[in-house]
């Protein structure tokens, strides 16, 4: 794998098999690695290279893991509710540049200190759940934040701020870095609630896939 290209190296030469650029469901190094493994398996089974590229472009992704759930004008809404710890959230923050970040829930040991390298990417954070106070202390003086409290309020505020930001590619990202059990039964319920809140925003449409 080189950059956004998946290559097959045989006999001392490398041949491009697929391009991952502009495939929203395969953003990030972790998804590129997964795609490369899938491509290797497909090649071993004799799948045509053109079929492989087409399959990658139409891959919908996994629910609640970097799931694109809506778009309004320039604003993209991404459901990463499965990110229940800082390490998982780091994978999502690494994929975007202008992030309106919804975070919080039932905190886990370590908090979000390890995410400080990604703070310059975050335009504003919207903190929910039991971890809100702890996260606010970590972000104070480094990232603008709002104590939203609940997911519905966080979505409303983040959507408004992203729309009015004037940025080219703002992203409203739910990537909580926390368990869900303080306000939701599980991360699936939290992600489903986020998806519904986004889809109920006037003017939001389903993202167009390549």
H-type alpha helices, the chain: 29-44, 49-58, 86-93, 132-139, 151-163, 187-199
pLDDT of residue 17: 73
Q: Please indicate, yes or no, if residue 210 is contained in any of the structural domains.
A: no
pLDDT of residue 46: 79
On average, the pLDDT of the chain sits at: 89
Say whether pLDDT at 210 is over 60. no
Taking residues 84-99, report their average pLDDT. 96
Distance CA 103, CA 98 (A): 15
Six-digit token string for 186? 């599980």
Say whether pLDDT at 1 is over 60. no
Q: DSSP 3-state assignment of 2?
A: strand
Instruction: Give the dihedral sign, CA 126/65/208/98.
Output: positive
Q: What percent of the chain has pLDDT over 90?
A: 67
Q: Please indicate, yes or no, if residue 209 is contained in any of the structural domains.
A: no
Q: Clarify whether residues 43 and 139 are in a common domain.
A: no
Q: Clarify whether residues 33 and 99 are in a common domain.
A: no
Q: What percent of the chain has pLDDT over 70?
A: 91
Q: Please indicate, yes or no, if residue 180 is contained in any of the structural domains.
A: yes
Q: Clarify whether residues 104 and 146 are in a common domain.
A: yes
- Of the residues 58, 75, 101, the one at which a domain ends: 58
Taking residues 3-19, report their average pLDDT. 73
* Weakest-pLDDT range from 6-10, 127-131, 185-189, 203-207: 6-10
Q: Clarify whether residues 187 and 164 are in a common domain.
A: yes
Q: Please indicate, yes or no, if residue 54 is contained in any of the structural domains.
A: yes
Say whether pLDDT at 27 is over 90. no
pLDDT of residue 191: 98
Q: What is the largest CA-CA distance in the chain?
A: 58
Q: Clarify whether residues 181 and 84 are in a common domain.
A: yes
Print the domain residue range for 170. 67-199
- Closest-CA residue to 68 (of 58, 57, 79): 79
pLDDT digits (tens, 9 = 90+) for 148-191: 999 999 999 999 999 999 999 999 999 999 999 999 999 999 99
- At 209, the pLDDT band (50, 70, 90 cuts) reads low
Q: Clarify whether residues 147 and 72 are in a common domain.
A: yes
23 in the Ramachandran plot: left (φ > 0), alpha (ψ -120 to 50) or beta? Answer: beta
Say whether pLDDT at 62 is over 50. yes
Domain count, the chain: 2
Q: Clarify whether residues 178 and 98 are in a common domain.
A: yes
Q: Clarify whether residues 34 and 113 are in a common domain.
A: no
pLDDT of residue 140: 98
Say whether pLDDT at 93 is over 90. yes
Q: Please indicate, yes or no, if residue 18 is contained in any of the structural domains.
A: yes
pLDDT of residue 39: 72
Q: Clarify whether residues 49 and 111 are in a common domain.
A: no
Q: Please indicate, yes or no, if residue 206 is contained in any of the structural domains.
A: no
pLDDT of residue 131: 97
Taking residues 114-138, report their average pLDDT. 98
Taking residues 31-55, report their average pLDDT. 78
Q: In what order do the strands lie in the sheet with 75-79?
A: 67-72, 75-79, 170-174, 98-104, 122-128, 145-149
């Amino acid at each position: 794998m080189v950059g956004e290209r998946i290559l097959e190296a045989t006999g001392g030469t490398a041949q491009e098999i697929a391009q991952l650029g502009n495939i929203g469901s395969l953003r990030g190094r972790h998804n590129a690695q997964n795609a490369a493994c899938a491509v290797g398996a497909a090649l071993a089974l004799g799948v045509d290279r053109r079929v492989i590229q087409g399959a990658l472009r139409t891959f919908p992704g996994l629910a609640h893991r970097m799931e694109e759930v809506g778009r309004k004008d320039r604003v993209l809404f991404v459901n990463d509710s499965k990110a229940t710890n800082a390490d998982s959230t780091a994978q999502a923050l690494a994929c975007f540049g202008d992030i309106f970040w919804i975070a919080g829930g039932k905190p886990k040991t370590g908090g979000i200190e390890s995410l400080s390298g990604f703070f310059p990417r975050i335009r504003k954070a919207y903190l929910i759940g039991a971890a809100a106070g702890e996260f606010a202390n970590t972000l104070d003086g480094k990232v603008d934040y709002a104590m939203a409290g609940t997911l519905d309020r966080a979505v409303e505020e983040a959507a408004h701020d992203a729309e009015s930001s004037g940025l080219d590619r703002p992203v409203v990202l739910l990537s909580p870095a926390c368990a869900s059990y303080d306000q939701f039964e599980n991360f699936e319920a939290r992600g489903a609630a986020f998806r519904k809140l986004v889809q109920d925003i006037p003017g939001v449409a389903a993202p167009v896939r390549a």
